[in-house]
Structure 1
Amino acid sequence: MSTAAHPEPRRILIVRLSALGDIVMSSGLIPALHKRFPQAELYWLTEAGCAPLLKHNPKLKDVLIWPRAQWEQLLKAKQYGALWREIRAFRKMLRSMRFDLVLDGQGLLKSGMCAWFTGAPRRISIIAREGSHLLVHERVVPPAGADTRIGSEYRYLATYLGAPEADFQLDLAVGAAPLAKAQAALQAALAGKPQRPLVVLCPFTTRPQKHWVETNWSELARHLLERGLQPIVLGGPSDKEAAARIAAGCSDLINLTGLLKLDESVALISQCQQLIGVDTGLTHMGTALRLPTVALFGSTRPYLSSGTPTTQVMYDALPCSPCRRRPTCEGRFDCMKQLTVDRVLAQAQALYNPTGLAP
């Protein structure tokens, strides 16, 4: 459907409820839409856990919360009447905001339902699975494999709406308060240590087949220290045990895992000089913040190119890769094991070498 057939929107809602990495990769819609529709107010609907990634962005009028946890709690307690009232109240709130254009960037039934709740006269979905195509007016399906850049499906949606491709740039804002907290945490952790460029390591993610060999992180940290760099391992509260094992293999590694909130982690990454990580939200944040980033991919390959020379993807296209959620290697995870410490170190050195030290 032609964009010209529709009046210029005054209020636009982006629906991308989760997950952290996908929120980062879809954030390029913010500047693209801001420039394409300069008179429109931009809103984003997401889950509470992802909201800190968005709430500091000055281009967004507001970040709305889908109360998933509350609904699930009522459902588990079999309080069906209360649940129905909450859903109706949520729908009423969305309708009252009178959105002209709603973009379902998730393409699932839950996100499609949220888009439908708005009653917007123009609702567009990416791919639209699980029957959610019945809840929108337009379905956008990017050509499979045609674009291997980060956030390719969201880029396609932006250009579908008439935005120049160059305007799609990942947009992650750092809040003043989280930045102060991150700087205080860094100052405390670095007390008494020599001043070195900071390299943040992001080893943790949701699936074991996406992990790099755990002992490799300790070895990598030792090599970084030998080259005059200060490694910092970062992750969430559930990663503390694994982070402690990694830190045990390198006494001078700074371990801030589980100590910072999500937006404080964003702020801390912004203060570092390089990032090395697996397919996880924190790694994509490094790309969004224009940090020299080395991304280690194997069972998943969300992109092959970041569209910027500051991020380099390490990915070996084995016959079984990417297997995604269905590994066939019986737990060997060959795709990640063959990314050796020497290879990763060489890539990191080539990408960012502030001290001029030889590899």
Structure 2
Amino acid sequence: MSPHPNPKILIIRRDNIGDLVCTTPLIAALRQRFPEGWLGALVNSYNAPVLDGNPDLDEVFVYTKAKHRGQNESLPGILWRRLMMMRRLRRMQLDDVILAAPAPQPRLIALARWLKPKRIIGFGENGRLDVSLPLDTEDRHEVEDVFRIAAIYGIDGPPPPCRIVAPAGVSPAPTLTIGVHISARKPSQRWPADRFAETMRAIAAQGPIRFMLLWSPGAEDNPLHPGDDTKAQDVLERVGAGATVISRPTQTLPELIAALAECDAMICADGGAMHIGAGLGLPIVCLFGNSGAGRWRPWGVPYRLLQPPSFDVADVGVDEVVTAFNALKADIPARAP
């Protein structure tokens, strides 16, 4: 239990997009447990848009990693702003700092101790943690693993769904729209363009529907930010007049969130975009290559997961994806008349 009835709690999660999405159930549970407490999050500029508009947080503190700084940002500048932010957090006299990533984090423990909270809560054996949780040995989902922290505050029950707030003014598209995200970081998660196109044509042939084609823009051979412009163009040419397709390249995370907020369901590979869709409440057909489906499947939404024995999505057939989508149809919320 918290030693204070209305504690000041800072949650630190500074890794990938999906990891932060999978921490939102814990944030929601803490807000319900401490409606008058202060809840803050310390994140990086890469994943911070996940928390935009989140009503469970009083404040989000964002720092920029050196590798993510913009063209007009100097390294001394971002380091100075980070120092000022940390000094402000230290002055707040925090009750708890939660290191929410369920793994050993010795560097973050040192940062947390500099902030001088009453308690530091984290995972793994480390004498510098005030409350430590053992590392997972039960193959839990990432959400369930992180949510073990809730028991420290007397919170029982299963984790709620993930939560991302749609941007103001964004609403579902006027017709049934399926988001199709074709980009994936891992080679084993990259489904070929011709199969995306064939899948879209097959689904479109069943009745009125439209697709929103989503991808990371740029050239495939860009060493810093490889993109899928060529793949997207290939998909569009192969679909032709066989389906209604809206092209939506998303350069930034806020653009991706806004685009998916217009959709009714989603077809994609495992990755950050999939977790964004789950946070927005979308039913999902997801393709898993060489990644842990048990740990990273969509949380809190209807889904159909396809993972071949080879752990390479190239071995998933079009018919399997179409069958999975048809099985998911009943879970897509009906539109208001």
Q: TM-score, normalised by structure 1?
A: 0.76
Residue equivalent to 2:15: 18
Residue equivalent to 2:113: 116
Between 291-300 and 266-275, report the one with greater CA deviation: 266-275
RMSD across aligned positions (CA): 3.1
Residue equivalent to 1:204: 183
2:303 counterpart of 1:348: no
2:97 counterpart of 1:97: no
Any idea what SS the aligned residue of 2:197 has?
A: helix
Question: Which of 124, 134, 143 is equivalent to 2:136?
Answer: 143
2:273 counterpart of 1:276: no
Equivalent pair of 1:155/1:168 in contact (CA under 8 Å):
no
Instruction: Specify every segment of 5 or more residues in structure 1 that has no aligned partner in the other structure, as ranges.
Output: 187-194, 319-332
Q: Aligned ranges for residues 241-256 of structure 1 at < 5 Å?
A: 241-251=230-240, 252-256=244-248
Residue equivalent to 2:58: 61
Higher helix share: 1
Equivalent pair of 2:193/2:232 in contact (CA under 8 Å):
no
Between the aligned partners of 2:78 and 2:264, the Cα distance in structure 1 is 47
Residue equivalent to 2:210: 230
**Could you give the per-residue CA deviations for residues 317-341 of structure 1, whole angstroms, max 9, x where no partner exists?**
x3xxxxxxxxxxxxxx653133211
After TM superposition, give the deviation of residue 212 of structure 1 in Å: 2.2
Question: Which of 271, 290, 313 is equivalent to 2:281?
Answer: 290
Instruction: Specify every segment of 5 or more residues in structure 2 that has no aligned partner in the other structure, as ranges.
Output: 218-226
Question: Which of 255, 259, 263 is equivalent to 2:254?
Answer: 263
The amino acid across from 1:169 in the alignment is P
Between the aligned partners of 2:190 and 2:67, the Cα distance in structure 1 is 32
Equivalent pair of 2:160/2:300 in contact (CA under 8 Å):
no
Question: Which of 16, 24, 29 is equivalent to 1:27?
Answer: 24
The amino acid across from 2:327 in the alignment is A
After TM superposition, give the deviation of residue 355 of structure 1 in Å: 12
The amino acid across from 2:314 in the alignment is K
After TM superposition, give the deviation of residue 62 of structure 1 in Å: 0.9
Between the aligned partners of 1:11 and 1:32, the Cα distance in structure 2 is 15
The amino acid across from 2:96 in the alignment is L
Question: Which of 288, 297, 303 is equivalent to 1:311?
Answer: 303
Percent of aligned pairs with the same residue? Answer: 21
Between the aligned partners of 2:164 and 2:99, the Cα distance in structure 1 is 20
2:154 counterpart of 1:175: no
After TM superposition, give the deviation of residue 109 of structure 1 in Å: 4.3
Between 220-229 and 160-169, report the one with greater CA deviation: 160-169
Question: Which of 191, 199, 222 is equivalent to 1:220?
Answer: 199
**Could you give the per-residue CA deviations for residues 13-67 of structure 1, whole angstroms, max 9, x where no partner exists?**
1101121111111111121111122221111111112221102111211110123
After TM superposition, give the deviation of residue 203 of structure 1 in Å: 2.2
Residue equivalent to 1:152: 144
**Could you give the per-residue CA deviations for residues 107-139 of structure 1, whole angstroms, max 9, x where no partner exists?**
4345434423321111111347xxxx4553222
Q: TM-score, normalised by structure 2?
A: 0.81
Residue equivalent to 2:221: none
The amino acid across from 1:7 in the alignment is H
Number of residue pairs aligned between Structure 1 and Structure 2: 314
The amino acid across from 1:47 in the alignment is N
After TM superposition, give the deviation of residue 100 of structure 1 in Å: 0.8
After TM superposition, give the deviation of residue 156 of structure 1 in Å: 1.9
Q: Alpha carbons of 1:8 and 1:267: their partners in 2 closer, same or farther (altered >3 Å)? A: same
Q: Alpha carbons of 1:88 and 1:287: their partners in 2 closer, same or farther (altered >3 Å)? A: closer
**Could you give the per-residue CA deviations for residues 159-180 of structure 1, whole angstroms, max 9, x where no partner exists?**
3432223453312111215x27
The amino acid across from 2:35 in the alignment is P
After TM superposition, give the deviation of residue 86 of structure 1 in Å: 5.6
